[in-house]
Each structure stands twice: as structure tokens, then as C-alpha cells.
Amino acid sequence: MTTSDTQRLSTHVELAPGYRISRIIKGGWQLAGGHGTVDRASAIDDMIAFAQAGVTTFDCADIYAGVEALIGDFRRTYLERYGALAAEKVRVHTKFVPDLGLLASLTPVDVAHAIDRSRMRLGVDSVDLVQFHWWDYGTPGYLNAALVLRELKRMGKIRQVGATNFDTPHLREMLDVGVPIVSHQVQYSLLDRRAGGAMASLCAERGVGMLAFGALAGGFISERWLGVPEPAEPLENRSLVKYKLIIDEFGGWTIFQELLQALSLVAARHGVGIGSVAIRWTLDQPAVAAAIVGARHVGHLADTVAVQTLQLTERDATELGAVLALARGPGGEVYDLERDRDGAHGRIMRYNLRQAGTHVPAEGS
């Protein structure tokens, strides 16, 4: 899948033959905890509002506490209210994220059991898209696990296979052994352009659509943070903790403020919010099929939908590019910083969620 001019201006895109998703995907990480109390009925109503507005694709993970079951309830409610024709347009993407401590002993039965558990929680016979994550390349087994997912696709338990947070060499390796990967979920934004080099080239070459998360930097890219002093720890939620580290890699709070100011000027010309411009920029990047937006409630719906009709101009690109040219980072391969378990980015991750009895990860895991 490549992102042509026509696809960039569409509300939906064909990720694989016969498999169509919305280019804005409603993320589910912020429904898992660590971001405040979630009211179940309100969350379902919010998802219905997004689906009715054309945001028909939803993202979650087997390690997001309660979110698969919540989205399963949403799907059933949506079917009851709007019928099979509307419900058939809804797509739900989940992730398969085995614990770090279990990687060495992971068996095909374990993989199949994890997918069956997701199917049960989501209330489906076949999961629309399973995105595979592997914490440690030094632990063998990721190719075998990915090939099991291919077999589960052949059996009809999975419709499509995706990856998440692999680097370019390891994604290529999985593709080369015949894993039918149609998408790769990666962090990609104005603040973090690591996926825009070798990864984007590989995905364009091999027909893999990138599903980008982090376009709003956990809420930092918004009017709320324009012109305010750098926040001190502790920050109020896990999103802000994660993306404050990315801001530091980008060049720090002063350069970040310059980016917000440039976004504000572009947004004012188009009559939209700062966040809409940031999401649109991400959607316009080569090989990006869709952007995952962690809109917690329907109050964010108008700004999210505004992205669908927003077209950035050469002047917009020039002004944003002038600030991006000042950025120091982050550099390196996709997810390399996060894989360093002794580094600042790796220390905030939670690697053994099932063994610990909690399922609230850092985003993108």
C-alpha cells in the first residue's frame, strides 16, 4: 500500500485488498487506565459518535486493561442500534504483546491462546487486524510467533496481520520469510520523524501501510501548552510522561514552543485547531495509511473530523519545516530508544504485564 495524493485526501483507505479502514483511527490506550476514571456507558456512546462521524476504525491491545472487552460491548451496541450494514464498516485492530519474561518459552499454543482470548473479548470469530510486538530481538522466537499468526490467518481466526514497533531490518526479515504483514504501527509525528526514512521506504516498497501514533504527543500538541512554562514533574498522566521525553529529544521546551507557535499560525489560516494541523501533517507523509488519535471523549470529535478536509499548503509546509530543521532528534531507528531498558524511555515501559497482574502499558507497546 502506498499513499497517493488521492489516498491522502480520502477519509478511508484500502489497507489490503478488500480491507478498508478510516484514515483516522480512534486509539484505545487512554481507556486502559492511568488517564483518569473511564465511565463505560459514556465511552461506548463516544465510540458510537466517532463511528457515526466516519471514524470507523478502533485500536486497542490485549494488554490494555479491559479495552478489548469494552470495544466488544461497543460493537454489539452499534450492531443493535444501526444494523449489520453499518456494523460491517467498523474495524477493530488489536495487538499481540507477549510478556518480556515469557518470550523465551513462548509456544504456538500460547500464541493461539492469546488470539482466542482477544476474539472472545471482542466478541468476534475473526479479529480484523492483529499487530505483533516483540520486546527483545536478543530472545529468539519472533519469526516463529509471526508465522503462527500467518497460520491463524489461514484458519480464519485473523483477517489481517500487522506489526508494531519493529525496526527496519527485523520488519524486512519477517516479510522475507513470508509473514503477510499489511500494516506497521509506529510512532510518527512532527516531534518524532524516525519512521520517515528507511522504514517509510521499506513500507512503500513492500505494500505495508504505516499506522502512525503520537501525532498529538499525548496532548502536548494543543493550544493548552502554547506559551506556558515547561511543566515540572510529576506530570498528570502516562501520556505526558512519555511524550515529554520525546520533546526533550526533539530539542527541549523552547524549540517545542516554536513548533506550537508555527502550528498556531497555520491553524488560524485554516480555521482549525493546532492538533488538526499536526494530524494532517502526519497523514500526508509517504507510506502513512492512517493516524491513531487518542481522543478520549466526544469533545475531541469536531477537531478530529476537521482533519479529513484539511489540506496543507506549500506555505504551511515551509513554515513548519523551518522549525523542524532546528530539531536535534530523536534519531536512530524506530523504537530503538524505547528498547533500551536502562535508558529514560525504556525505564517507563512495563514489560511483564500479565505476570504482574496489571495491563496498563506505555503507548505503542
Q: pLDDT tens, 257-286?
A: 999 999 999 999 999 999 999 999 999 999
pTM: 0.94
Please report which confidence band the pLDDT of residue 365 belongs to, taking 50, 70 and 90 as the band edges: very low
Beta pairing partners, 288: 210
Q: Which pLDDT belongs to residue 362?
A: 42
Question: How buried is 156 (Cβ within 10 angstroms: 0-12 exposed, 13-18 middle, 19+ buried)?
Answer: exposed
Q: Which pLDDT belongs to residue 361?
A: 43
Percentage of the residues of the chain whose pLDDT score is greater than 70: 92
Q: Residue 361 is placed in which grid cell? A: 502499558
Q: Residue 332 is placed in which grid cell? A: 536512530
| Span 70-122, pLDDT tens digits | 999 999 999 999 999 999 999 999 999 999 999 999 999 999 999 999 999 99
| Span 151-183, pLDDT tens digits | 999 999 999 999 999 999 999 999 999 999 999
Beta pairing partners, 290: 211
**CB-based contacts of 13: which residues, under 8 Å, 6+ apart?**
1, 3, 7, 20, 21, 23, 209, 289, 290
Q: Which amino acid is at 251?
A: G
Give yes or no for residue 302 having a pLDDT over 60: yes
Q: Residue 2 is placed in which grid cell? A: 502506498
Beta pairing partners, 16: 19
Q: Nearest-CA neighbor of 275 among 307, 242, 249, 299? A: 307
Please report which confidence band the pLDDT of residue 23 belongs to, taking 50, 70 and 90 as the band edges: very high
Give yes or no for residue 125 having a pLDDT over 80: yes
| Span 139-153, pLDDT tens digits | 999 999 999 999 999
**CB-based contacts of 246: which residues, under 8 Å, 6+ apart?**
187, 191, 192, 214, 217, 330
Q: Which pLDDT belongs to residue 356?
A: 47
**CB-based contacts of 58: which residues, under 8 Å, 6+ apart?**
25, 26, 28, 47, 71, 74, 90, 91, 92, 93
| Span 204-239, pLDDT tens digits | 999 999 999 999 999 999 999 999 999 999 998 888
Give yes or no for residue 9 having a pLDDT over 70: no
**Which CATH code for domain 5-356?**
3.20.20.100
Give yes or no for residue 358 having a pLDDT over 50: no
**pLDDT, mean of residues 290-312:** 87
Rounded to whole angstroms, the Cα distance separating 338 from 194 reads: 12
**CB-based contacts of 79: which residues, under 8 Å, 6+ apart?**
86, 87
Phi, psi of 21 (to 5 degrees): -130, 160
Q: Residue 31 is placed in which grid cell? A: 481507556
Q: What is the CA radius of gyration of the chain?
A: 19
Contact present, 100 and 135 (Cβ < 8 Å): yes
Give yes or no for residue 33 having a pLDDT over 70: no
Rounded to whole angstroms, the Cα distance separating 235 from 95 reads: 27
Please report which confidence band the pLDDT of residue 297 belongs to, taking 50, 70 and 90 as the band edges: low
Contact present, 257 and 229 (Cβ < 8 Å): no
Residue where the block lists cell 442500534: 81
Q: Nearest-CA neighbor of 20 among 121, 94, 88? A: 88
Q: Which pLDDT belongs to residue 37?
A: 72
Q: Residue 153 is placed in which grid cell? A: 490467518
From start to end of the chain, where are the E strands? 12-16, 19-22, 24-26, 57-59, 91-96, 127-132, 158-164, 181-187, 209-213, 288-293
- Mean residue pLDDT of the chain comes to 92
| Span 316-338, pLDDT tens digits | 999 999 999 999 999 999 999 99
Give yes or no for residue 360 having a pLDDT over 70: no
Residues comprising the chain, all counted: 365
Please report which confidence band the pLDDT of residue 357 belongs to, taking 50, 70 and 90 as the band edges: very low
Contact present, 103 and 91 (Cβ < 8 Å): no
Q: In what helix (H) or strand (E) does residue 151 lie, and over which residues does it extend?
A: helix 142-155
